[in-house]
Amino acid sequence: MMFAGVDGGGTQTRVMLAAADGRICGLGHGGASNVDDVGVTQAASNIDAALQDACEQAQCQRDDVCYAFFGMAGVVSARDRAIIEQLARPLLPKAQLEVNHDCYVALLGALSGREGIILIAGTGSACFGRDAQGQGWRAGGWGGLVSDEGSSYWLGQQALVAMVRDLDGRGVKTSLTGRLFAVLDIDDADEVLHRLYVIGISRTEIAALAPYVIEAAASGDSVAQQLLEQGGHYLADCVAAVLARLDLPHPCELSVVGGLTKAGAMFWQPFKGALEQRQLHVQHTDPEMPPVCGALLAAYQQADIAWSDVLTTLKHHVQNYAGRL
């Protein structure tokens, strides 16, 4: 009997297979599976690739998977869950399936099932908390059109805004302009409209501009530094909103995951400064396990397997996969 945890995001998909005792048997990778970004067909294909990768490592068949939990970016409503269930059913025909948003599994993994708050700062951004009574609340995560402040996508989009303001003379001169010209293969300001609207630029491509903002900020660019400062405050706003809605201890555990955390001090200093400015009662906890392990915990819960029965083994085995997570 195999258990599957699926962590599907705006950049990549991970599938972890484990035995009933918490022993990890395989870890697979695939491309992005946020349906809102890549569509149902591509999302299904990328999940399928990650699942096949995991099954080959585990030397098992898909029919061996009895319970599977999908923690997916972009899943908010019952309709969203139904879409994922529909695309997942042919991939795991014998498994009992459940679906929730990516914040839920990120929190389970980061705090090993304990109450607290998770902040995701990756392609998109969102914050989710769960208290001892099992009540949950999410802030942010509404997508790039109206939300995702402080995320890689938001930083990339704001960098593009800063670039055109610089070109017009409406904004402050910034090294972001030259950096973005290079990465977008633009030689002249008159090419900007063609590159953005005719050739087009995807959400993933915009998010991939975030490292250039971080580089510019590290080199002293005031515009880039201001963007990171503003992003830190937006993320702290989400934490404050979750704290206000749930019955959480003071201080409560807060864990942060996502690609932006790898930026080091350029990310952490503005964010922690914003938390302190608001006097939010949180205690930072490094993630104990990645989101895909949180999805596995949720799969065990489906089978009424107590987390205390699998956590020690699961944490021990996940260390062997650290370089691939």
Q: What is the DSSP string of 202-249?
A: -HHHHHTTHHHHHHHHHTT-HHHHHHHHHHHHHHHHHHHHHHHHS---
Q: What is the pTM of this model?
A: 0.88
- Looking at 3.30.2270.10, 3.30.420.40, 3.40.630.30, 3.90.1010.10, the CATH number of the domain 140-284 comes to 3.30.420.40
CA–CA gap between residue 119 and residue 129 (Å, rounded): 9
- Looking only at the bridges linking them, the beta strands covering 136-140 and 125-130 are antiparallel
Q: Do domains 2-112+288-324 and 140-284 have the same CATH topology?
A: yes
Along the 325 residues of the chain, how does pLDDT read in single tens digits? 899 999 998 789 999 999 999 999 999 999 999 998 899 999 999 999 999 999 999 999 999 999 999 999 889 899 999 999 999 999 999 999 999 999 999 999 999 999 999 999 988 899 999 999 999 999 998 888 899 999 999 999 999 999 999 999 999 999 999 999 999 999 999 999 999 999 999 988 999 999 999 999 999 999 999 999 999 999 999 999 999 999 999 899 999 998 899 999 999 999 999 999 999 989 999 999 999 999 999 999 999 999 999 999 999 999 888 778 7
Q: Where are the beta strands (DSSP E) in the chain?
A: 2-8, 12-19, 24-31, 65-72, 96-101, 116-121, 125-130, 136-140, 252-257, 282-284
Q: Which homologous superfamily is 2-112+288-324 in?
A: ATPase, nucleotide binding domain (3.30.420.40)
CA–CA gap between residue 208 and residue 156 (Å, rounded): 7
CB 141, CB 147: distance < 8 Å: yes
Residues 114-126 as b or e (16 or more Cβ within 10 Å = b): bbbbbbbbbbbbb
Other C-beta atoms within 10 Å of 25: how many?
A: 18
Other C-beta atoms within 10 Å of 18: how many?
A: 26
Structure tokens belonging to residue 253: 């555990």
CA–CA gap between residue 20 and residue 290 (Å, rounded): 19
CA–CA gap between residue 84 and residue 81 (Å, rounded): 5
Distance of CA 64 to the CA centre of its chain: 28
Residues 1-12 as b or e (16 or more Cβ within 10 Å = b): ebbbbbbbbbbb
Length of the chain in terms of residues written: 325
| Domains of the chain by residue range | 2-112+288-324, 140-284
Task: Quick: pLDDT tens for 264-323.
Answer: 999 999 999 999 999 998 999 999 999 999 999 999 999 999 999 999 999 999 988 877
